[in-house]
Structure 1
């Protein structure tokens, strides 16, 4: 199971590059090992072109390295904190994607003015507190903001995007969609004031997307 997850997490980093969510070695994906108090995460400072399943690092839920030849991501403590306090989370992603990070730099939530936002995020994409990298303060901010919130994404002030999901792939999808709507809402505000969506319509859109949309057997 760990080797399969190493392969999956490694492959998902290519999606961050594919969707232009990262630059140089910034950003990371992690995935919880099912049934174990372990997760797999990207090594620190290694080029995306050089990532391999073997270079992924296995950590316990305190952020200690259990297996791997590399030092883990500098965001490991944040990921570990999320896994410890949100047992439903199976994957965590961090990016500095341009438009979403621009909202984070302003310390501003992205308002729910698109049906795609209602579908995926169930409302606004919230802003989280400023926190320094390296310890678990970022993780504390993520958990505080996203616990009980529909959104799988949070914009950490002056930093960037963190997303969660039932799997690492779901968290990557949330990061992709977060950047997509951040860009569109930004452009909309250059043209004028975006029109809000009524809360009852947001609720209906979210319910339809989460419970009806797509091929149910594959979700």
Structure 2
């Protein structure tokens, strides 16, 4: 391990605290069970990321237990092994420079769509607002190397969506920072549930592409207070 450069120390410590706190949002929003799922954040100005260690209970996570890795998934700082999804997160950061946060969950409804290998159709204004269209399915990939990361990047590179349902696995979300990616994870589960319920009543009606464009543009550029949505 080479360690974190001194000039990045304050930023890394702040990110450790933020990422540890954001992990609490996953069980709070019923997005994970046991130790599944993870949140990571890019260290600005460096090829580094902060992520949780593997197999540690959410109620035991603290800022000090977070680990720092490089964008090849190698441990740079920490006493525990990084999350088993670190290679996927690292690949996303390496190939999508605008991404500042990545989240993975196994939330019930979004994962059910992933098991069917079926995109979530854009039949709600919330989907248009948040994701700019259908929430796509990514390819099947095994855990252990950067195959999942490659699938995420390939699927989202030409999509406005901040979420991808990796086939037979579950949702991954991206954001401008870790908090933004957590919000996307909460929202994708919410719309996955709502569209599922709608299907019990009949066939949901898609929103016209031109209306999706208008909704997405308004939500991304007009809604809220500045950058806070």
TM-score (norm 1): 0.99
Q: CA deviation at 1:36?
A: 1.0
Q: CA deviation at 1:217?
A: 5.9
Is 2:221 the counterpart of 1:201? no
In angstroms, what is the RMSD of aligned CA positions? Answer: 0.8
C-alpha deviations, 1:16-72, integer Å up to 9, x for none?
Answer: 111000000000000000111100001000000000000001001110000001100
Is 2:152 the counterpart of 1:142? yes
Task: Show structure 1 runs of 4+ deviating over 3 A.
Answer: none
Q: Quote the Cα distance in structure 1 between the aligned partners of 2:191 and 2:102.
A: 19
Match of 1:180 among 190, 212, 226: 190
Match of 2:141 among 128, 131, 140: 131
Q: Quote the Cα distance in structure 2 between the aligned partners of 1:56 and 1:105.
A: 30
Give structure 1 stretches of 5+ with no counterpart. none
- Residue of structure 2 in register with 1:55 after alignment: 65
Within a 5 Å distance, the mapping from 1:3-82 to structure 2 comes to: 3-82=13-92
Q: Quote the Cα distance in structure 1 between the aligned partners of 2:106 and 2:97.
A: 25
Is 2:88 the counterpart of 1:86? no
Is 2:117 the counterpart of 1:107? yes
Q: Quote the Cα distance in structure 2 between the aligned partners of 1:169 and 1:217.
A: 12
Q: Quote the Cα distance in structure 1 between the aligned partners of 2:187 and 2:116.
A: 20
Q: CA deviation at 1:218?
A: 4.6
- Residue of structure 2 in register with 1:191 after alignment: 201
Q: Quote the Cα distance in structure 2 between the aligned partners of 1:154 and 1:168.
A: 16
- Residue of structure 2 in register with 1:160 after alignment: 170
Alpha-carbon distance change, 64 to 118 in structure 1, aligned in 2, over 3 angstroms: same
Give structure 2 stretches of 5+ with no counterpart. 1-10
Q: CA deviation at 1:148?
A: 2.4
Q: CA deviation at 1:134?
A: 1.1
SS of 1:162's equivalent in the other structure is: strand
- Residue of structure 1 in register with 2:7 after alignment: none
